[in-house]
Amino acid sequence: MGAVRSDFHYIIISIMAFAIATILSMISRGLIGAVMKKRQAEGDEDITHLKFIRNSITAVFYSFVIVYIFYEIPTFKTLGTALFAGAGVLAAIFGFASQKAFSNIISGVFILLFRPFKIGDLIEVSGGKKGLVEDITLWHTVLRDFENRRIVIPNSVISDETIINSNITDVKVKKHVVFAISYDSDIDLAMHIIREEAESHPLCIDGRNELDVLVNEPLVPVRVIELGDFSVNIKAWIWTAGFDDAFTLQCDLFKSVKERFDREGIEIPFPYRTLVMKDAAKKLDQELNQELK
């Protein structure tokens, strides 16, 4: 009877411990969430460390509860001692299985400390995965791509990747837009049209430095970059306020420049192919020979 009461007592202790951990976690997450909203209202968009702490705090509380239960309840304490002291193979398996988990945790802490990116940054990792950093947890980093899908990358993986961060120091983007014209078209006129359409676009900004202004570098440099197989390729360098503006500007320019090219006689080339039909050519040759005879 005493053993039954003792077991019931330990069950109550365990339930209370998890309940207290849950309540403390909810309170802490609520307080951190309130601080995040306040800072965002004040114009401070860098809430990366607060969001990381909020995401991690539940795991921390539950980890303390599990350690407490194994330490305080004799049955679990004996079981834990037996497992870690006598079951070397099991301990090795557990250590191997948890290696990735601990690696993700450490990598998450390093991301928080060294800040290669933060919440809200637009980043691109190898493999073409690109999106806005939406969340950083103990285990993974969540990106939201431009199709509103979520890309979940383990922290240990993203820490080893080469990252292109469009927001780390300067959010401006220098967009390169390439146009192709035929060899028969007026190159100077085409370059003038491209520059005029780009400079008149409302999303084009002045990204020149003092030296560029001093040497009279145009707002939108336009140059011939290649004499291709079928076309003369012309590139425009255009500054915009951010990645979204750069994409929108490029799409608008393709339309407006094409319309100007059509009005002013600039041809956009397409590949030419010469087809040789041997049987038809042979038959035609025979007919010509007969006519000559």
Q: Does the structure show a pLDDT above 80 at 167? A: no
Give CA–CA dist 51/36, Å, rounded.
Answer: 8
Q: Between residues 234 and 110, which one has the greater pLDDT? A: 234
pLDDT of the residue at 278 = 62
Average pLDDT over residues 104-112: 79
Question: Is residue 284 pLDDT above 60, yes or no?
Answer: yes
The Cα–Cα gap between 180 and 258 comes to 10
Q: What is the band of 28 on the pLDDT scale with cuts at 50, 70, 90?
A: confident
Query: What are the tokens at 58?
Result: 């539940």
- DSSP string for 196-245: HHHHTSTT-B----HHHHHTT--SS-EEEEEE-SS-EEEEEEEEESSHHH
DSSP 8-state code for residue 269: P
Pick the residue with more confidence: 44 or 222? 222
This prediction's pTM: 0.54
Give tens-digit pLDDT for 116-164: 888 888 888 877 788 888 888 878 888 988 888 888 888 888 888 888 8
Mean pLDDT on 219-241: 91
Spatial neighbors of 104 by CB under 8 A, at least 6 apart, are 138, 139, 140, 154, 155, 156
pLDDT, position 85: 52
